Amino acid sequence: MYEGVCFFMDIQQEKSQVLELKNRERLTVNLVENVEHFSPSEIVLKTALGRLKIGGSNLRLEDLSKQNGQIALTGKVDTAIFADIKDKRSFFKDILK
């Protein structure tokens, strides 16, 4: 399991985010800001539109482009789930209500 693998880029808001999945074996994603977690069964990406959790088996990062924030991975992709990114202060504010 690899953690702490990351890269950052400036995102231009006028771009659209695209996820392209081919035969559940190759996934490309653009507007990636950070790779937050990576293992053969799960990859978590911070994207311009929120956190993206990808689940599957034998997942491998095949291509990382720091210039345009694009990532390509291979393996068996079972799930791709977006979640909004909340800042930590908002989390504690919700708990203390």
The domain spans of the chain are 2-95
pLDDT in tens, 8-46: 555 445 578 999 999 999 999 999 999 999 999 999 999
Task: Enumerate the β-bridge partners of residue 38.
Answer: 2, 43
The per-residue pLDDT for 66 is: 81
Topology of domain 2-95 in CATH is Immunoglobulin-like (2.60.40)
Q: Is the pLDDT of residue 86 over 80?
A: no
Backbone torsion region of residue 58, taken as left when φ is above 0, otherwise alpha when ψ lies between -120 and 50, otherwise beta: left
Q: Is the pLDDT of residue 88 over 90?
A: no
